[in-house]
Amino acid sequence: MKSAIDEVGPLPAADRSRLLQRLTTRRLSAGDHLLRPGDPCRALGAVRHGVMREFYALPSGVQRTKAFAVEGQFVGSLPDALCGGASVCGVVAETEVELQLCSAAAFLDWMHSSDGTRRWGLALLERLVLTKARRERELVSLDAWGRYQAFRLAFPTVEARVSQRVVASYVGISPEHLSRLRSRQRRPTSPSDGRH
């Protein structure tokens, strides 16, 4: 959790200590859910080991991957925790995972408990807004190749640790299309192929 906190911004030692004291460790097997769509968001935290995936479930049962969280990153759905009620997304372990978690209610209370935690909380929300804007820009303005390259840049350790189906879901293409993109990447480029 310490690295996840530091990645967001500075936090007074006393405020950090109060958050760390609220944490518990939880282990999940691949396929276990931290949050299911429709359930209230009860826990927020950070990944100590493994890969978590945040997704939306369509009425057809198909899942669309929203984001990943790996070592040293926050996990859970802060927007769902802030709204209360039924969550619109789910969070599932893609590998064996070890998490450090705090109840969502306790985390939100802590975020408003001092000037230091309020500043840090604002920095966290700013990061979420910027991440959301980047993801929307990728989906709207990039082709499949561009979205695949953006995925690899944003999550450099994930591709080797999750299924091709999950990567394809994030990029917004079929697994077969992803396989073609990967083949394209392995081919040596030449000046005549239009890519430099």
Q: Is the pLDDT of residue 186 over 80?
A: no
Instruction: Judge whether 94 lies within some domain.
Output: yes
Q: Which amino acid is at 189?
A: T
| pLDDT, tens digit, 9 for 90 and up, residues 78-128 | 999 999 889 999 999 999 999 999 999 999 999 999 999 999 999 999 999
86-115 in b/e form (b: 16+ CB < 10 A) is ebebbbbbbbebebbbbbbeebbebbeeee
Instruction: Judge whether 144 lies within some domain.
Output: no
Instruction: Judge whether 188 lies within some domain.
Output: no
Which residue range is the domain that position 48 belongs to? 2-114
Instruction: Judge whether 139 lies within some domain.
Output: no
Instruction: Judge whether 16 lies within some domain.
Output: yes
52-82 in b/e form (b: 16+ CB < 10 A) is bbbbeeeeeeebebbbbbbebbbbbbbebbe
Count: domains in the chain: 1
Instruction: Judge whether 37 lies within some domain.
Output: yes
| pLDDT, tens digit, 9 for 90 and up, residues 9-28 | 999 999 999 999 999 999 99
Instruction: Judge whether 52 lies within some domain.
Output: yes
Residue 73 maps to which CATH number? Answer: 2.60.120.10
Instruction: Judge whether 82 lies within some domain.
Output: yes
